[in-house]
Structure 1
């Protein structure tokens, strides 16, 4: 339809053609959720913590635990492959965050680790080639310790401790009384001592880059708004295929984020928008005002267009006080998928331009696809609050079956990101008793990188140049499908009192605006609105006492 644009003034629009990408309107500083998710790229700690945030994710067990990735390494690798991979599946939109920024931070974190691994590889090559037998002995010892104690520095127990002490005693005895003298005797002694020198050198490298990664982590959660540095995404010459591939992948990600097609997955709700917590329906018979007249013909789109225009005035209020921020008002096409679906499919054809359903197809679906199979049309008003931590979406659909006009408003809420992503790095310290005044304690700063972690990073370093090999040896993180950065790690908003209040309060004014606009269209087309008005007043009273529920679970 000429002149029709379903984008509101509060929505980010970008140019995805080759060249600079300049946002036309800001996102209102909605950065908290974005930076919380981006901070995961710089974190340390066990990768299994991610399973607590979403039980749909899974971690492939390592074949050799010494090559097991930590949380940041696994998250960065999984997100980069899933979001920018050449054979990646379709993505779910991430409302309330900027997914491109999260992916850029994953690339930046991988770049920092790549610089670190380059230095560790040099150390590993020098000591690994010249003193290979000794390095293998030390690696075997650390692998044995991880196998006994686990990857997370648990106690080894009496049996494990006895085994390690026995191995240490044999090593000392071997150094003191060698059966071989001369050059080979010196080499055998150096073989066991030189890896310790390499370990000390590697420890300094690991400490340096650990400070960099933790600094980025802390700044992101502290509101510093540090940008990701990814020079490898800027082509240096026309033949720089790698950088061009990253640039096109980021542009494709931004284009898919602006799609107006969403997916309804049964009790899981609309993916990316959250579960449906409330539903209010106004359904009455269409009758003319006077018995001898007929109603003027109109279509569902006429009612939807009137509601769309009226919703744009939600910011206005008669009293000079705080109120709604600028909402995003868009026409959505909702496609049904199975509750346990492992992926979604983006449609293709003349009705689709890029990742967006064209305007004429939106209007056709609104008027014609109201019963039976097929996609459905919804008019949505969306509020992104709490710096992106809360996404409130209220969807309106208009259907006409026989003589009955039905106007349904449903509420969806997507809560804050899981608390795992909002925890700041804590300094590694412990309380110990003073040597003289033993009844007093003091705080001792521990190294950022422990001995076992230095060995793990150094052992992994040469294999980071061959990611598939490292995935095979150390395992990898599999992200939940269908995947979207925001809804995959979202928590429930109802555990936060003010967030819950905001979601409930938004329903009442939106419902009234929808009903007023619809009744106005009916009056203009010679329809009797008495029943509609009475039903609207009843719903207006019901919505005032709205309580969240599971509207998609019908209890049958």
Structure 2
């Protein structure tokens, strides 16, 4: 998707894009208006978001405001920490929508700031009095008492009556009498003006939210990311940050975090090892020298043809076959560090370095090489990865195949906007209830937005006063809010079915290389047949949790 495009309403969705559903679901969070605490429902057992409470409840952000600001700051800020790849989604698409959502809210906040200055700051005593009333009302409404909502409404009515009496029976005369009347009335008129502004923006945000989840092509309007002259340094820096984000997404370096599995690929649910001694097929001749890379290269060529089969009955889609450099980190590590140096260019470990790691770094500390075959299924909601590593220690060659699965995006991100409603009792039949539609933007929401608007020019102060969202680290958009796939029957079936053909292709390719280099493959063949039976065990396991 190109930068700077506007949303022109429902369009024909672009088919064939991998990860379209997962990407759109994550992007829709930037436009949501639910409570910020809702993000905690999407956290999984390994990655926890933190909602930082502010000093003033009236200035608290909603989910969309906090999410879009947090994602932009974490993924585009200069000097940011490395990110985890978002397999099965496009992080640049999500970030662009976060930028677009920020722009829409900034335009709204500029208009609300003007309203606040004209109808509030010029009549500051009245504004402060009304804000204290709403702050007290918010405090009462947050109590667990069932009568709290009624008490909060009664409080507002009482204050309204007192304000009306104050306007009629004014204790002042002359200029101050008219100023006092304006202090009471102008903030209320400003509220009606602000309500219209907020409702228009809310409809726009909800339309984009619904459009992303409905499959329509919703463009993100980010004009500040397109430099229009050599002096627009901010636009150029933003463009470079987006380019860096895309380059890091294509990196071939990943991180193994113990029980969390490989970050971005999910936990390891199965492991199968083929390990036998290298014995010459002809006792009178020695084995022809070969290296681990020779076996890996043969496996790579064979895996690239997985979508081919003897029958025309569907089968595997074309997989992504890639060499990975895996770096071990601690289970509770809060950050990662990508490989650097002359062997790395644009976040990619160069081929000669990959081959060197494959042949030499098989024991002790250091990075390891894995050959991966990966499928992006269910529109990006399921990421299946099978990793293969080949090691040779003394006279034993070991071929290990492990299965990783990253499940669907949490259902919080796939829920569509619903009009606010309320169940009330019928007047003549109090034992029956009916559904009443509520305003899209309520009274408290208008006050909250109008109060926050003048502070949005300095986000650190607004975050300190109202609160913010801290994203789980090490952060990656896709794995941070992914559920386990095992609760979805068909996703679980896909993960389990992929293991057997991959294992057999790996073994057949490896045995062919061994045979060509004069190795006795009888034991390898027998062991391969045993593993082919074991791999059909239909139960996924937590292979990274060692019972020791």
Task: Output the TM-score relative to the length of structure 1.
Answer: 0.92
2:356 equivalent to 1:333 = no
Residues 40-51 of structure 1: pairs in structure 2 closer than 5 A: 40-51=29-40
Aligned match of 1:259 in 251, 260, 263?
Answer: 251
Q: In the alignment, which residue of structure 1 is the partner of 2:7?
A: none
Q: In the alignment, which residue of structure 2 is the partner of 1:486?
A: 478
Aligned match of 1:114 in 100, 106, 110?
Answer: 106
Equivalent residues, number: 534
Aligned match of 1:508 in 500, 503, 506?
Answer: 500
Secondary structure (helix, strand or coil) at the match of 2:36 reads: coil
Cα offset for 1:467?
1.1
Unaligned runs of 5+ in 1: 1-13, 15-24
Secondary structure (helix, strand or coil) at the match of 1:305 reads: helix
Q: What per-residue deviation string (whole Å, max 9, x for no partner) do you get for residues 104-127 of structure 1?
A: 000011111111111111101111
More displaced, 135-144 or 475-484? 135-144
More displaced, 251-260 or 126-135? 126-135
Cα offset for 1:186?
1.9
Task: Work out the CA distance in 1 between the residues paired with 2:310 and 2:227.
Answer: 53
Secondary structure (helix, strand or coil) at the match of 1:41 reads: helix
2:402 equivalent to 1:413 = no
Aligned match of 1:425 in 408, 411, 417?
Answer: 417
Task: Work out the CA distance in 2 between the residues paired with 1:435 and 1:235.
Answer: 61
More displaced, 156-165 or 306-315? 156-165
Cα offset for 1:183?
2.1
Task: Work out the CA distance in 1 between the residues paired with 2:454 and 2:269.
Answer: 51
Q: In the alignment, which residue of structure 2 is the partner of 1:555?
A: 547
Residues 183-222 of structure 1: pairs in structure 2 closer than 5 A: 183-222=175-214
Aligned match of 1:134 in 123, 126, 129?
Answer: 126
Residues 62-461 of structure 1: pairs in structure 2 closer than 5 A: 62-150=54-142, 156=148, 167-168=159-160, 170-432=162-424, 443-461=435-453
The 1:160/1:245 distance shift into structure 2, 3 A limit, reads: same
Q: What per-residue deviation string (whole Å, max 9, x for no partner) do you get for residues 455-492 of structure 1?
A: 00001111111111111111110000000000001000
Task: Work out the CA distance in 2 between the residues paired with 1:358 and 1:53.
Answer: 37
The 1:468/1:210 distance shift into structure 2, 3 A limit, reads: same
Q: Is the 2:120–2:186 contact (alpha carbons within 8 Å) kept by the matching residues of 1?
A: no
More displaced, 175-184 or 411-420? 175-184
Q: What per-residue deviation string (whole Å, max 9, x for no partner) do you get for residues 505-529 of structure 1?
A: 0000000000000000000001000
2:25 equivalent to 1:33 = no
Secondary structure (helix, strand or coil) at the match of 2:374 reads: strand
Cα offset for 1:425?
0.5
Q: What per-residue deviation string (whole Å, max 9, x for no partner) do you get for residues 93-113 of structure 1?
A: 000000000000000111111
Q: Is the 2:409–2:483 contact (alpha carbons within 8 Å) kept by the matching residues of 1?
A: yes
The 1:220/1:481 distance shift into structure 2, 3 A limit, reads: same
Q: Is the 1:65–1:151 contact (alpha carbons within 8 Å) kept by the matching residues of 2?
A: no
CA root-mean-square deviation: 2.2
The 1:300/1:86 distance shift into structure 2, 3 A limit, reads: same
Task: Work out the CA distance in 2 between the residues paired with 1:163 and 1:28.
Answer: 54
Q: Is the 1:35–1:225 contact (alpha carbons within 8 Å) kept by the matching residues of 2?
A: no
Cα offset for 1:337?
0.2
Cα offset for 1:236?
2.2
Q: What per-residue deviation string (whole Å, max 9, x for no partner) do you get for residues 308-331 of structure 1?
A: 000011010100111111100000
Q: What per-residue deviation string (whole Å, max 9, x for no partner) do you get for residues 156-204 of structure 1?
A: 2677667656645544443333321222112212211111111001001
Q: In the alignment, which residue of structure 2 is the partner of 1:5?
A: none
Q: Is the 2:138–2:152 contact (alpha carbons within 8 Å) kept by the matching residues of 1?
A: no
